Amino acid sequence: MSIIDTPATDTAVIPGPATPYQGDIARYWNNEARPVNLRLGDVDGLYHHHYGIGAVDEAAIGDPADSEREKKVISELHRLESAQADVLLDHLGDIPADGTLLDAGCGRGGSMVMAHQRFGCKVEGLTLSSKQADFGNNRAGELGIGDFVRSRVCNMLDMPFENGTIAGSWNNESSMYVDLHDLFAEHSRVLAVGGRYVTITGCWNPKYGQPSKWVSQINAHFECNIHSRREYLRAMADNRLVPQAVIDLTPDTLPYWELRATSSLVTGIEEAFINSYKDGSFQYVLIAADRV
């Protein structure tokens, strides 16, 4: 018997976005087909819409004259993106196979597949984009894990789960599209007491003062609203989420960006990330918190 009652192809949960802004974001992701995301996913079938962390394996990418270099760079960028998702999953702690995980803002579902492969449990994903949900469900079907991994079109500020039914939840680069108090109130509602919440996100650094021009450029590029580190911690504290780890991943993500900037897949936003990480105005952080 399937542990997910509804067929995995049943993707449409909400008839439309809750706000005009969410309509913009749904359109953005429905139209998104950047080669940097698709060609990296093609490497092993895990499709990510997030960035990478860890040291670049120089031996694996070869020298610039190598005719295969571009392909090797793509594989290496993809390896670093999967390493990022692994670090996020590490911070969920132990999840029993009969628990349910939640990926809020799940994209094409790469992290969900990895989570199921690691824990053997059911993983529910929410995205505003029907194209992404269909993509994720098709991919899960191809892998034969459609009974465990399901994406739905749904607003993560209004989740289709009963109170306290989720063992662990995360936002992987998806929290900059929503108000953090609304978001954490909803995670807190659906998480079981003692459950773990994890986010990996870019945030502006209060030590810098205000969002720098690079941060503003990133916001404009992705139609998002990057929050500060302070806002994350305040909104968690206000919503029964107690930080268990706050890790600055900025030094770990810079090599990824520097490698990406040399590839043919540049999107034009690389300079803003590299400059803001270097001038201290922007940070790449992981925050893991316990639902108390």
Is 184 a binding residue for ligand SAH by CB under 6 A? The answer is: no
Tell me the C-alpha distance between 193 and 191, whole Å. 6
Beta carbon of residue 238, minimum distance to ligand SAH (angstroms, whole number)? 19
**Cβ closer to ligand SAH: 29 or 284?**
29
**Cβ closer to ligand SAH: 12 or 292?**
12
Tell me the C-alpha distance between 10 and 226, whole Å. 32
Could you tell me which stretch among 139-147, 168-176, 259-267, 271-279 binds ligand SAH (CB under 6 A)?
A: 168-176
**Cβ closer to ligand SAH: 82 or 217?**
82
Beta carbon of residue 110, minimum distance to ligand SAH (angstroms, whole number)? 5
Per-residue DSSP letter, 57: -
- Return the closest-CA partner of residue 34 out of 201, 279, 275, 268: 268
**Cβ closer to ligand SAH: 47 or 277?**
47
Distances (CA, A) of 164 to 17, 25, 76, 98, 161: 25, 28, 39, 15, 8
- Tell me the backbone φ, ψ of residue 70, rounded to 5 degrees: -55, -45
Contacting residue, 13, 22, 117, 147, with ligand SAH by CB under 6 A: 22
User: How far is Cα of residue 33 from the mean position of the Cα atoms in its chain?
Assistant: 17
Tell me the C-alpha distance between 50 and 134, whole Å. 19
Is 110 a binding residue for ligand SAH by CB under 6 A? The answer is: yes
CB-CB contact of 148 with 118 (8 Å) = no
Site residues for ligand SAH, 76-105, by CB under 6 A, read 105
Contacting residue, 13, 157, 254, 261, with ligand SAH by CB under 6 A: 157
Contacting residue, 11, 75, 137, 172, with ligand SAH by CB under 6 A: 172
Beta carbon of residue 154, minimum distance to ligand SAH (angstroms, whole number)? 6
Beta carbon of residue 16, minimum distance to ligand SAH (angstroms, whole number)? 12
Is 186 a binding residue for ligand SAH by CB under 6 A? The answer is: no
Of all residues in the shown chain, the one whose CB is closest to ligand SAH is 107
282-291 and 191-204 strand pairing: antiparallel
Is 159 a binding residue for ligand SAH by CB under 6 A? The answer is: no
Tell me the C-alpha distance between 75 and 80, whole Å. 9
Is 106 a binding residue for ligand SAH by CB under 6 A? The answer is: yes
Q: 5 by DSSP, 3-state: which?
A: coil
Is 128 a binding residue for ligand SAH by CB under 6 A? The answer is: yes
Contacting residue, 39, 50, 187, 227, with ligand SAH by CB under 6 A: 50
- Return the closest-CA partner of residue 119 out of 111, 127, 129: 111
CB-CB contact of 188 with 160 (8 Å) = no
Distances (CA, A) of 271 to 75, 88, 161, 212, 274: 22, 25, 40, 13, 5
Is 180 a binding residue for ligand SAH by CB under 6 A? The answer is: no
Residues 6 or more apart from 240 whose CB is under 8 A from it? 188, 291, 292
Is 152 a binding residue for ligand SAH by CB under 6 A? The answer is: no
**Cβ closer to ligand SAH: 17 or 62?**
17
List residues near ligand SAH by CB under 6 A: 22, 25, 29, 48-50, 105-107, 110-111, 126-129, 132, 155-157, 172-174, 177-178
